[in-house]
Amino acid sequence: MKVPALPVIDRVLFTEEQVQRRIREVAGEISDRYRDGNLKMIGVLKGSVFFLTALARELTIPVKVDFLSISPFSNHTRAPGVVRISKDLDESIEGEDVLLVEDIVDTGFTARYLLQTLAGRGPNSIALCTMLDRPARRIVPLKIDFKCFEIPDRFIIGCGLDYKQLYRNLNFLAVLKPD
């Protein structure tokens, strides 16, 4: 595969083929786990859209899909407030086997908040799937049920991950060039 020569890219971490292969493997694990279940994948906007779509296509079991987003942190105001869901799910998750799908888990702040919030809505089960796991930055302990890649402590773009809202559409994962 030819990688576009973007000046922001330091190096390619995982090629498109590597990403696709690993997503297929993880999709197999998920299909096995939820073969007799009632799977609903919940994506966190915007970053997880690309990963969730690719993952869902590789599943061999029926799946429902829903999305939510959370309010962004801003340090502009003196009291930054607290995190809240800014775009909620369209349907209830009561009795469903929920799989929260993230593009990346690093500090664990977002995943912890979402898992706690969703768990309070009466799902049959709840699990976490992430494309990338960066444990070097973890602050909040989390159990990750499915993951594609564990990555080093670098800023990554592509496959939904952005830098200043750009490069989400790259179909490979790359390390951003340091300033």
State yes or no: is 88 an active-site residue. no
In the bound state with another protein, the residue whose beta carbon lies nearer, of 33 and 112, is: 112
Q: Give min distance, CB of 24 to another protein, in A.
A: 28
**Rounded to whole angstroms, how far apart are CA atoms 159 and 19?**
9
Among 29, 45, 60, 80, binds another protein (CB under 8 A): 80
- Three-state secondary-structure class, residue 170: coil
For another protein, how many residues bind (rule: CB under 8 A)? 31
How do strand 97-105 and strand 39-44 relate by DSSP bridges?
parallel
Looking at 83, 145, 168, 171, which residue binds another protein (CB under 8 A)? 83
For another protein, the binding residues in 155-174 under the rule CB under 8 A are 155, 163-164
Residue type, 102: E
| Type of residue at 58 | E
Choosing from 97, 106, 145, 162, which is the catalytic residue?
Answer: 106
Give the angle subtended at the CA of 45 by the CAs of 65 and 92, to the nearest 5°: 40
Instruction: Pull the structure tokens for residue 99.
Output: 């799989």
According to CB under 8 A, which residues from 129 to 158 bind another protein? 137-141, 153, 155
Distance, CA of 12 to CA of 33 (rounded, Å): 32
Q: Of 7, 62, 152, 178, which lies in the binding site for another protein, with binding defined by CB under 8 A?
A: 178
Question: Restricting to residues 103-132, which ones interact with another protein according to CB under 8 A?
Answer: 106-107, 109-110, 112-113, 116, 119-120
Task: Out of 28, 84, 91, 150, name the contact with another protein by CB under 8 A.
Answer: 84
Query: Parallel, antiparallel, or unpaired: how do β-strands 97-105 and 125-133 relate?
Result: parallel
Structure tokens at 65: 């899909």
Angstrom distances, CA of residue 50 to CA of 23, 138, 153, 168, 178 = 11, 23, 22, 8, 25
Site string for another protein, 27-46 (x = CB under 8 A): --------------------
- Residues near another protein (CB under 8 A): 72-76, 78-84, 106-107, 109-110, 112-113, 116, 119-120, 137-141, 153, 155, 163-164, 178
- Which residues have a catalytic role annotated? 106
